A and B are shown apart, each in its own frame.
Chain A
Amino acid sequence: MIRLAIALLGLVALAVVPLFASEYELGLLIGMATYVALASAWALFSGQTNYISLATVAFYGTGAYTVAVLNESLPYPAVLLCAALIGAGMALLVGLSTLRLSGIYFVIFTFGLAELVRQLITWYEVSITGTLGRYIFLDLTARDIYWQMLALAAVAIGLTAWINRTRLGLALRAIGDDEVVAAHSGIHLARTKLIAFTLSATLITLVGAVASPRWVYVEPLIVFNPTVSFLTVIMALLGGANRLWGPLVGAIPLFLLFEWLSVNFPDTYPIFLGLLFIAVVFVLPNGVLAGLDDLRARFGRRGK
């Protein structure tokens, strides 16, 4: 109960912040909220099950592009609903074709998915509609976007917390450890994975949709930037992908670092990020939070 109260209080405080923030600071806040939402939504499926999804930007970009295509013909809430439905449909397609099989097929499929969607949209725009690039004119301020993004991040974390306490959460953790045992315990593997993956991907699609008005001008090369997939995975891993607050703990510092690197080293920052990624995999395979627990356990033992 106390934890819930602290979390809610924190959320309220974060919701008030933009009233005092400058335009630049608000931009940073939106970025942070975006990546907290992305990393938490990613970890909702991949963190528990060890099925590494490399397709974050495929869903994120799809969400953004849905808004770009529909923003002039439908009211905003309806556009968001469409984005969510399209994202869920895509996730079902990917999940149904790969999640019955071993994890490697899922990884491979998601690895190329963003590129596939990008090429398909490019092909469609160039050869059918004859345009490449669209404008988003929505009457939304930066503050509106921040609040929406904050709400999405809260939903992603809240949903994870809730799932952790349900049968679904127990089933997902069992699948992450040993699928054979999970199945012999009566868990329907494919359905369990499919539900979690679809939830995760739908949230990611919505993040893309909510973030899109910031761009104003949208084209496939911009919204399907592979760095988004990459950052999401490294953030969740750094904090601890199987922890409730892990993705948040990883996302905030890494987003700031990414901002700083991309401003000061615009050409070489992917190299730094790649090296950092490898370092995380080697040094903190279970994330910072698990590392802290280990330290605490060690000192606790020494204290006695």
Chain B
Amino acid sequence: MTTLVLGLVLGGTYALLALGLTLQYGIARIMNLAYGEVTLLAAFGLVFLFQTAGLPPLVAIILIAPAGYLTGWLLYTFMMRPLVQRATGKPGKLEVDSILATFGLLFVLQGIMLVLFGANFTSISYLDQGVNVLGVSVALNRLIAFAICLVAGLGLIVLLNWSRWGLILRAVALTPGSAPLVGIDVNKVSRQGFALGTALAAVGGASIAMYQTFSANDGVIFTMKALIIVIMGGVGNVAGALAAGFALGLVETFVATTFDPGLTLAATFAIFLAVLIWRPQGLFGRRS
């Protein structure tokens, strides 16, 4: 039971991270290997605001989310857009270029964080008194983080499925080639998709900072987990990413409590391998 509750809480954060990544890859077609670093930057931002400015994390998140959007907007405009332009008419080129460029960005961001915050594990203590949930004592900060992920994730689903903007985003994700025919500015929508994805990464990072220790070297692991969830759920599939995120959170918590916390990444990879061999189009994707 403890595993179940803790796993769901962790899974909520993972699902949120994966949603941001699937937006970036599905809509803007950018494979962002620096995604985990952006997440960590937000986590450090929250800790910094909490420790120096005394800002309560819940308030800080309200600042961090739009800051994430802005960061994503700038990254897309100045870094990704030139690559997109260069790759027109050359299939596969954007994928390779974006992988390489964001791989470079990963080291830049990681370097900046190491200089600013050092390589030590960081955490804050905030609302860590236990609350009884279905007979399990769960720290309040975890529940808040979970609630944030639920709100952001469900908000995104509502936005994508029932709003005009969501319709446009989905149109570009589905057929970027024919979207201009109905008057959609693909460049603008890609930028919005990328920025929105970055904002989700920031919110995910901020909620991680509320209940978990982390260090500047953890980016790769976050990116990796988000990527695997996206693949499990099927690229661009929001509901799939949510389900896969919870699944990964549960498996990981189970492995950590039953076997060894040092084996969680191995568990992630094992799932990845299983998906690759069994259903490469994603657990919830359709066979193309």
Nearest residue, chain A, Cβ from B272: A109
Given known pairs A274-B108, A278-B105, the reply for A108 and B228 (CB within 8 Å) is: yes
Interface residues of B in 145-175 (CB under 8 A from A): none
Check A230–B103 contact: CB distance below 8 A: yes
Q: Which one of B199-207, B218-226, B242-250 is at the interface?
A: B218-226
Interface Cβ pair total, 8 Å cutoff: 118
B72 to chain A, nearest CB (A): 17
Chain B, 79-94, CB within 8 A of any chain A CB = 79, 82-83, 86, 92
CB-CB under 8 A from A107, the residues of chain B are 31, 99
Which residues of B, 257-288, contact A by the 8 Å Cβ criterion? 260, 262-263, 265-266, 268-269, 272-273, 276-277, 280
Q: Name, among B103, B105, B220, B277, the residue most crowded by chain A CB atoms within 10 Å (CB to CB).
A: B103
Q: How far is the CA of A280 from the CA of B110 in the complex (A)?
A: 19
How far does the alpha carbon of A137 sit from the alpha carbon of B277 in the complex, in Å?
A: 42
Query: By CB atoms of chain A within 10 A, which of B95, B104, B263, B280 has the most?
Result: B104
Chain A residues with CB under 8 A of B105: 274, 278
Q: In the complex, what distance in Å separates the CA atom of A126 from the CA atom of B261?
A: 12
Q: Is the CB of B220 within 8 A of A115?
A: yes
Flag if B108 contacts A281 (CB, 8 Å).
no
Chain B residues closer than 8 Å to A275, beta-carbon distance: 104, 108
Q: Which residues of A contact B108 (CB under 8 A)?
A: 270-271, 274-275, 278
Q: A108-B228, A111-B224, A268-B111 are in contact. Are A277 and B104 (CB under 8 A)?
A: yes
**Chain B residues whose C-beta falls within 8 Å of the C-beta of A276 in the assembled complex:** 104
Neighbouring B residues of A108 by C-beta, 8 Å: 224, 227-228, 231, 272
Contact B221 A105 (CB under 8 A): no
- Give the docked Cα–Cα distance between A282 and B101 (Å): 8
Q: Give chain A's interface residue range (CB within 8 Å of chain B).
A: 35 or more
Bound-complex Cα distance A28 to B199 (A) = 44
Chain A residues near B263: list those with CB within 8 A. Answer: 119-120, 123
Closest to B264 in A: A119
In the complex, are the beta carbons of A233 and B110 less than 8 A apart? no
Residues from chain B with Cβ under 8 Å of A269 in the complex: 111
A98 to B228, CA, bound (A): 13
Taking CB atoms, residues of chain A closer than 8 Å to B83 are 281-282
A-side contacts of B260, CB under 8 Å: 123, 127
A148-183 interface (Cβ within 8 A of B): none
**Which partner residue on chain A sits nearest B96 by CB separation?**
A50
Cross-chain contact of B95 among A103, A127, A274 (Cβ < 8 A)? A103
Bound complex: CA A97 to CA B272 (Å):
10
Q: Which residues of chain B come closer than 8 Å to A280, judged between CB atoms?
A: 104
Judged by a CB distance under 8 angstroms, whether B115 is at the interface is: yes
Decide yes or no whether A267 CB sits under 8 A from chain B: yes
* Shortest distance between the CB of A39 and any CB in chain B (Å): 15
Interface residues of A (CB under 8 A from B): 50, 52, 54, 97-98, 101, 103-105, 107-109, 111-112, 115-116, 119-120, 122-123, 126-127, 226, 230, 233-234, 237, 267-278, 280-282, 285
23 contacts between A and B (CB under 8 A): A52-B100, A97-B276, A98-B276, A107-B31, A108-B224, A108-B228, A109-B276, A111-B227, A112-B269, A120-B266, A127-B262, A230-B107, A234-B104, A267-B115, A270-B107, A271-B108, A273-B107, A273-B111, A274-B110, A277-B104, A278-B104, A278-B105, A282-B83
